[in-house]
Amino acid sequence: MKLESSDIRSPWDYVLVAGSGGSGSKRLLRIFDQSTKTHCRNEPYNNLGSPFAQLRSSPRAWVLAPDDLALLDREWDAAVRWTAARMGDRDTLPPPPKGHFLELGTRLGLLRLLSSRTARRLTRVVPSGGLREEWRVPRFIARRGALERSLLVMKFNQAPALMRWVLQRRPRVKIIHLVRHPAGYLASWQTRLLSRADREAVTLANRERLRVIAAARPEWAATFGPLEERSAEELELLFWLYDTRSICEAGSGKAQYELVLDEDISIGGFDVAKRLYASCGLEWEEGIETWLADSAANWRARTLPWRGLLKPAEVAIIEELLGKRDFEGWWSPDQLVSRIDYHWR
Helix (H) or strand (E) holding 2: none
CATH number where 241 lies:
3.40.50
Residue 170: inside a domain: yes
Helix (H) or strand (E) holding 33: helix 25-33
pLDDT tens-place string over residues 55-80: 999 999 999 999 999 999 999 999 99
Residue 8: inside a domain: no
* Main-chain phi, psi angles of 134, to 5 degrees: -85, 155
Quick one: pLDDT at residue 6? 41
Mean of the per-residue pLDDT values of the chain = 89
- pTM for this one? 0.92
Residue 2: which pLDDT band, with cuts at 50, 70 and 90?
very low
CA distance 337 to 331: 10
Asked whether residue 5 carries a pLDDT value surpassing 50, the answer given is no
The pLDDT > 70 percentage for the chain reads: 92
Span of 141-155, 233-247, 285-299 with lowest mean pLDDT: 285-299
pLDDT tens-place string over residues 159-193: 999 999 999 999 999 999 999 999 999 999 998 77
Asked whether residue 51 carries a pLDDT value surpassing 90, the answer given is yes
**Number of structural domains in the chain:** 1
Residue 158: inside a domain: yes
Quick one: pLDDT at residue 344? 41
If one counts every other C-beta atom within 10 angstroms of the C-beta of residue 92, the result is 16
CA distance 167 to 145: 28
Amino acid in the structure at residue 81: R
CA distance 318 to 12: 36
Residue 318: inside a domain: yes
Quick one: pLDDT at residue 221? 96
Span of 179-188, 193-202, 262-271 with lowest mean pLDDT: 193-202
Collapsing DSSP states into helix, strand and coil, what is residue 101? strand
Please give the residue range of the domain that contains residue 45. 14-338
Closest CA to 294 of 276, 277, 269: 269
CA distance 293 to 287: 10
pLDDT tens-place string over residues 113-163: 777 767 766 666 666 555 567 888 888 888 889 999 999 999 999 999 999
